[in-house]
Structure 1
């Protein structure tokens, strides 16, 4: 039994289910990322956990105690949870210190004890020198640290984050990903983190929960989600991939057309006559000559080549017009218009469930 449990959680707006029969168990001290495109239900799930929205079906339990069910929900302020919003939601007329201690004052903590706890969290979040500044005098990254400090200082059982880095520029986002993970490792709060950015999820999460159309598509460690996607949606959403569709031969092969027959080293054929095969962009090998063997190779024409410093990004057209993306070392330079062979090693071909 997990510390935070969602059981058959459902929320509808009108007749459309936004969260549809979601069940999830989060262990105490885990950081779980809800990942998916806009409209997949991840933020609504977070708001259900926070108590801002009441479910139409199912329940939420925290530490074995039911906090949400249809017609019977504990108020947000009684859940011992802290939430960090996309907009930071800092009080503009309060200093950093006043923002951080505000929650402690509401809880009736003595002034000296509140100051001591605030000093500790400001040091941890590297804000001690900014304690007397106002939010308008801070950078985006500094404001995000204030938001984190304010959430952590009240020592919540559960920490909720709703796309907290989306307003930051690329460099700050990367810095804050590691900062959030560092603080989590230090305090080990049970954390649910909503994002649509796969790099954020891969950097911060113990468990990634991929959501699609209100349901959980797959849950697992970052490595498991990336290396072993179960469905076409997960394969496409997490990392770049090529998806080839064809007819299963009843063993470990898929005939995909274009003269391409793929032996698959892993995956789930699910007993179907047709299936899909995922091959990551960086697992497509380019060569001038035909690779040895009868399978897992096809000839095409380079239609685009982009130099990106550490690597080159290729787009290759197959005889029927289907395109394949490949990532190659920057030293591999094949001009557009050139004929090229693609080799897709069986160990890098994964059959996907329908």
Structure 2
């Protein structure tokens, strides 16, 4: 049985449905990321799990016990959960040690137990040398570590994180992604992590749940979500992709018009009407000479923009049919703007999308 279960969880504000019949089962010790754009319902879902918001319909169970339903909800303090917010919310007049030990003192633990538990978590979060400093004397990354240590020290059954790295600069965010994953592997709390950053989700999560307009679009491992998207939204939101649309022809191909026919090595074709085809930016092969042979999976166009990014070049290309696509190419391939180019979409990297 799953440890945290969302059963047709729904939240409405007036006529607006912000979480729509979400079903989700989270096994004990799993780190799940709720991923999606602003306004997709991910933070409301987290607040429902925490008990800050009562559902309009559906249930939340934790350890087999109903903690939220339309008829009543257990208060946040009765759920044995810790939540980390976007702001660090540290007590400015307390030292690092005092901030971390605060939750233990509220539980009236013995002074010796408070000391040993707090010291142990400070060591695990690499803060033992900063124990006597105040929050104003710490960097953003160090403050975030304190926030994590304070949440973990009370040994919650469930850890909830709401965009915890959004206030950090790019380098610190990268460092803290791996730190959160390291701490999860060490303590194995059941964790629900909200983010709009796909790299955060790919780095930290066991399971990614992609949300859109209050609905779950797809849930799966990072590799499954990236390699096998089931919708245009998921394909475009995770990793970036080019979407071609057309009619199915034969067993495995889509005619996109203007002479472009794409054979697809994976995915699902629409039963009728239009089928979309996803091709990742880095899977397009770019050449500056017209190829010979079978024209299937080849397109031609002109370079609109070319940007040097150190490890690669990022191309924007206008195809002969009017579509615009992006392609990632090696640094050594430098094709100037307005020059004609040809693109190959390998069949095994073309994924059909029924919706």
The equivalent residue for 2:226 is 226
Instruction: Give 3-state SS (helix, strand or coil) of 1:148's partner.
Output: helix
Instruction: Give 3-state SS (helix, strand or coil) of 2:316's partner.
Output: strand
TM-score by length of 1: 0.99
Verify: 1:101 aligned to 2:101, yes or no: yes
Whole-Å separation in 2 of the counterparts to 1:44 and 1:117:
32
The equivalent residue for 1:33 is 33
Superposed displacement of residue 71, structure 1 = 2.1
Superposed displacement of residue 107, structure 1 = 1.1
The equivalent residue for 1:192 is 192
Aligned pair in 2 of structure 1 residues 249, 273: CA closer, same or farther (>3 Å)?
Answer: farther
Whole-Å separation in 2 of the counterparts to 1:51 and 1:41:
15
The equivalent residue for 2:352 is 351
**Contact 1:297–1:343, Cα closer than 8 Å, also in 2:** yes
Whole-Å separation in 1 of the counterparts to 2:198 and 2:249:
34
Moved more, 246-255 or 97-106: 246-255
TM-score by length of 2: 0.98
Instruction: Give 3-state SS (helix, strand or coil) of 2:230's partner.
Output: coil
Superposed displacement of residue 64, structure 1 = 0.6
**Contact 1:3–1:27, Cα closer than 8 Å, also in 2:** yes
Whole-Å separation in 2 of the counterparts to 1:86 and 1:57:
27
**Runs of 4 or more consecutive aligned structure 1 residues displaced over 2 Å after TM superposition:** none
**Contact 1:291–1:297, Cα closer than 8 Å, also in 2:** no
The equivalent residue for 2:331 is 330
Whole-Å separation in 2 of the counterparts to 1:135 and 1:291:
65
**Contact 1:291–1:343, Cα closer than 8 Å, also in 2:** no
The equivalent residue for 1:307 is 308
Instruction: Give 3-state SS (helix, strand or coil) of 2:335's partner.
Output: coil
Superposed displacement of residue 291, structure 1 = 5.0
Whole-Å separation in 1 of the counterparts to 2:246 and 2:270:
14
Superposed displacement of residue 250, structure 1 = 4.8
Moved more, 184-193 or 100-109: 100-109
Aligned residues: 354
What are the Cα deviations for residues 243-293 of structure 1, in whole angstroms up to 9, with x where unaligned? Answer: 001111252111101210000000011312311000000000011222531
**Contact 1:10–1:57, Cα closer than 8 Å, also in 2:** yes
Superposed displacement of residue 200, structure 1 = 0.1
Matches of residues 1-354 of structure 1 in structure 2 within 5 Å?
Answer: 1-287=1-287, 288-290=289-291, 292-354=293-355
Unaligned runs of 5+ in 2: none
